[in-house]
Amino acid sequence: MMKGTDQKIKILLDDKACRGCQLCVDVCPVEVFTFDKARNTASVTKEDNCIGCLSCYYICPPTCIDLQGVSYSKNFYCDSEGMKIASRLI
Ligand code: SF4
Ligand code: SF4
């Protein structure tokens, strides 16, 4: 994953490694991916929609999705310090 501020986000999906689980399709909040049933792989069809949330990057079981132009961020949901801060809001 690359750092970047003004850089356009680029999503790299290794379709040879894709297992066809569709988790990326389901998790993406802005419908960047579509699923090709015939090929049993996900495809990036609306890259410009991407908001860089990194959900697809973290959820893909074979880690075949990578992103360029997104600043690295910790996985908030697994970060104990982040969870402590968030718990104050509940
Ligand atoms: S980083 Fe977030 S918004 Fe971008 S493609 Fe992945 S899930 Fe969708
Ligand atoms: S999460 Fe990964 S393995 Fe599953 S469909 Fe998407 S790219 Fe393929």
The answer to whether the beta carbons of residues 31 and 22 sit under 8 Å apart is no
Mean pLDDT over each residue of the chain, to the nearest integer = 85
Tell me, what's the pLDDT at 22?
A: 96
The structural domain count of the chain equals: 1
Residue 4 has pLDDT above 60, yes or no: no
- State percent of the chain over pLDDT 90: 68
Residue 75 has pLDDT above 70, yes or no: no
User: Ligand 2 center to residue 89 CA distance, Å?
Assistant: 33
What does DSSP say about strands 41-44 and 33-36: parallel, antiparallel, or unpaired? antiparallel
**Secondary structure (3-state) at 43:** strand
For residue 88, give both structure tokens: 């104050």
Within-domain flag for 5: no
Question: Nearest CA to 41 among 23, 15, 59?
Answer: 15
Within-domain flag for 2: no
With a 6 Å cutoff on the Cβ, whether 51 touches ligand 1 is yes
Determine the average pLDDT of the residues in 77-82. 64
Ligand nearest, relative to CA of residue 56: 1
Within-domain flag for 60: yes
Closest residue (by CA) to atom 1 of ligand 2?
Answer: 60
Within-domain flag for 35: yes
Within-domain flag for 1: no
User: Ligand 1 center to residue 85 CA distance, Å?
Assistant: 24
Determine the average pLDDT of the residues in 43-71. 94
Instruction: Quickly state the pLDDT bin for 41 (edges 50, 70, 90).
Output: very high
Within-domain flag for 4: no
Closest residue (by CA) to atom 4 of ligand 2?
Answer: 21
Q: Which domain holds residue 34?
A: 10-87
